Amino acid sequence: MIRTTGLTKDYGSRRAIENLTFEVDQGEVVGFLGPNGAGKTTTMRILAGYMPPTFGTAQIAGFDVVNESIEVRRRVGYLPETVPLYPDMTVFEYLKFMADLRHLPDGDEMVENALELVQMEQRAEGYIANLSKGMRQRVGLAQALLHKPEVLILDEPTLGLDPAQVVEVRNIIREIGKDRTILLSTHILSEAQHICDRVLIINKGHIVAEDSPENLQARLVGAERSILRVRGDADELASQVAKIKGVQGVKVRPDGALEFQFAPGVDVRPQVAKTVIKSGYDLLELSPVGLSLEEIFLELTRDGAPTKKER
Amino acid sequence: MRNVWTIARREFRLYFISPVAYIVALLILLVTGIYFVLIVYLAASASYTMGSSTPPGTDSVIYIMAYLFLLALPALTMRLMAEEHRNGTLELLLTLPIHDWELVVGKWLGSFLFILSVIAVTLIFPIVLNRLVTPGIDQGLMLANYLGIILVAAVFLSIGTAISSFFNNQFAAFFATLAVLFFFWWVIGWPAAVMQGSGNIFNYLSLSSHFYDSLLRGTVALSDIVYYLSLTALGLFLGTVAVEIRRWK
């Protein structure tokens, strides 16, 4: 559905992205993950038909983003990083304006459908100026969804929202993602894990890794990590946990919790729990630890680190 | 064309909730209104003291209106594109399935329709004047005057729209438009005045010569109409180019 080949963009003498080649299949939800300034927004702007690449090509639904830009824009729903809204309009007026510019035959109905999807029917007559950031984000999403596009491009859709709003927006995206192709950018790994089938990690304009969030993590770490918190002396328990078969490394963290690793597929957590109870400790917490994005980047940019998966 | 109309309609409506647009309309109507009352009063007192005088026409009001447009219309166009850029909404508009020229022409048309409605209000002057003078005003002159001021407004607004497309800051767009209009309305005529030749290039390029020397005097020449329409088209073309440039930057 989305296919780029050697996509490169220069801003003056600065190269924002270099030689990006990737594909997103129909119905896939792909996360574009990277730190600020990695080139996520640039790539998305090119795909949305906002600006042409310096070199390389990109196609959406078989149409070239430069030569058949209008056709591409018809098929894409785009939510830029700064949610583009007109504060002087009501939610309904704004979406109707967009529907008119997209020549939607039954505009009013499609606006209502989009509002229902983002759960904003109650605020249709309210002015955009009076909406909270979370609600504005939803109106932006409604705008992107309005024409039932084949492809959705969402640039940092949860940026700047409070935790409750983040959950709401993620749920909406997951719901939409059931029957659409979505490319969304984020710099939060857990977000990608929650929503995406696959993740592209981009750093300094290059794709440095590409896989499912789970595989990526497992591949990078080579082991699963868990954290164990008990009431009592953790140092003494550490030596007992280390003796359990399959446990690869145990360390006591500065906050008093134990962190241990084990090979993927050999879940040692039941044994660990039994050991804790048998030794007379009160088990307070036993939970998996994911790699933070920072750790993944450190891993990926290190020499000899596993890089892009061969397709 | 449908997109042009959709965008124009939004811009037109937006003027009616914009304080700047109200100030512009008020300034134009108030100054032309006071001026109109004054010339009618002066003409009346002149005919009373001297027994006869030339009855005033619409040309004196339209004359002052052109200067007001020069000062005020940049305030109508300054935000057209610059604000879209500042709000981030330009990114949205440029990723909709519409052509860049449709956006620029739609913006211009919205401002043009607004100024047409302001001009329509000033039609009250010739109507009143027609009742005051016998045997009525010169209607040919009036039509030529109004055609002239409408064409001048079209050009001013198109230049303003183009300049607004180049700027991110609306105040910068305002002053740049003001400077460009002043130059082509006034400054460019200076060499022409010195050279004295009526057919010289500076006189031809001057925005004001086609207005003062013909339309304001009641002469409707196809060449003047073509001149203003071409300049309007040129402004809209440059505005579209500016939007294209933004995409590449």
- pTM for the full predicted model: 0.83
pLDDT confidence tier of residue B199, bands split at 50, 70 and 90: low
CATH code, domain carrying A77: 3.40.50.300
H helices then E strands: how many in chain A?
A: 11, 14
My answer on whether A185 and A41 are in the same domain is yes
- Give the neighbor-by-neighbor strand order of the sheet with A224-231: A247-252, A258-262, A224-231, A282-289
Token digits of residue A245:
């078969």
Mean pLDDT within A195-206: 85
Overall domain count for chain B? 1
Residue-wise pLDDT for A290-304, tens only, equals: 666 566 666 676 644
My answer on whether A182 and A234 are in the same domain is no
Token digits of residue B206:
């001057």
pLDDT confidence tier of residue A197, bands split at 50, 70 and 90: confident
**pLDDT tops 50 at residue A307:** no
Model pLDDT, residue B241: 96
My answer on whether A193 and A265 are in the same domain is no
- Domain termination residue (choose one: A162, A177, A211): A211
CATH code, domain carrying A268: 3.30.70.100
Residues contacting A197, CB < 8 A, separation 6+ = A28, A29, A30, A212
My answer on whether A162 and A232 are in the same domain is no
Model pLDDT, residue A309: 44
**pLDDT tops 80 at residue A232:** no
Does residue A299 lie within any of the structural domains? Answer: no
Q: Which of A244, A242, A262, A243 is nearest to A252 (CA)?
A: A242
My answer on whether A141 and A13 are in the same domain is yes
Residue-wise pLDDT for B209-224, tens only, equals: 777 777 777 777 888 8
Interchain CB contact of A9 with B (< 8 Å): no
My answer on whether A98 and A67 are in the same domain is yes
Q: What angle (nearest 5°) sits at the alpha carbon of residue B34, between those of residues B29 and B37?
A: 120
Q: Which of B91, B98, B249 is nearest residue A101 as measured by Cβ atoms?
A: B98
High-pLDDT (> 70) share of chain A, % = 90
pLDDT confidence tier of residue B50, bands split at 50, 70 and 90: low
Whole-number Å distance between alpha carbons of B10 and A59: 33
Higher pLDDT, A103 or A223: A103
Q: Which domain holds residue A254?
A: 224-289
**pLDDT tops 50 at residue B44:** yes
Mean pLDDT within A47-52: 92
Asked whether the beta carbons of residue B97 and residue A86 sit closer than 8 angstroms, the reply is no
Does residue A258 lie within any of the structural domains? Answer: yes
**pLDDT tops 90 at residue A133:** no
Residue-wise pLDDT for A88-111, tens only, equals: 999 999 999 999 999 998 889 999
Mean pLDDT within B193-205: 68
Which residues of A fall within a CB distance of 8 Å from B89? 84-86
Interface residues on B facing A, Cβ-Cβ cutoff 8 A: 2-3, 6-7, 10, 14, 17, 87-99, 247-249
Which residues of B fall within a CB distance of 8 Å from A99? none
One-letter amino acid for residue B184 of the chain: F
Residues contacting A188, CB < 8 A, separation 6+ = A158, A293
Does residue A25 lie within any of the structural domains? Answer: yes
Q: Which of A195-199, B42-46, B159-163 has the lowest mean pLDDT?
A: B42-46
Model pLDDT, residue A311: 37
My answer on whether A152 and A248 are in the same domain is no
Asked whether the beta carbons of residue B91 and residue A97 sit closer than 8 angstroms, the reply is no
Taking CA atoms, what residue in B is nearest to A53? B248
Overall domain count for chain A? 2
Does residue A295 lie within any of the structural domains? Answer: no
Q: Which of A154-158, A180-184, A299-303 has the lowest mean pLDDT?
A: A299-303
My answer on whether A254 and A132 are in the same domain is no
My answer on whether A206 and A257 are in the same domain is no
**pLDDT tops 80 at residue A62:** yes
Q: Which domain holds residue B92?
A: 2-248
Probe site for chain B from A47, A50, A145 (most B CB atoms < 10 A): A50
Q: Which of B6, B99, B247 is nearest residue A100 as measured by Cβ atoms?
A: B6
My answer on whether A91 and A114 are in the same domain is yes
- How far is A303 from chain B, CA to nearest CA, in Å? 34
Which residues of A fall within a CB distance of 8 Å from B97? 70-71, 73-74, 101-102
Model pLDDT, residue A308: 46
Mean pLDDT within A261-282: 83
Residues contacting A86, CB < 8 A, separation 6+ = A94, A97, A128, B87, B89
One-letter amino acid for residue A232 of the chain: G
My answer on whether A9 and A67 are in the same domain is yes
Q: Which of B6, B88, B249 is nearest residue A80 as measured by Cβ atoms?
A: B88
Model pLDDT, residue A305: 46
Q: Which of A36-50, B28-42, B52-66, B84-98 has the lowest mean pLDDT?
A: B52-66
Which residues of B fall within a CB distance of 8 Å from A100? 6
High-pLDDT (> 90) share of chain A, % = 33
Interchain CB contact of A45 with B (< 8 Å): yes
Whole-number Å distance between alpha carbons of A195 and A190: 9
Does residue A306 lie within any of the structural domains? Answer: no
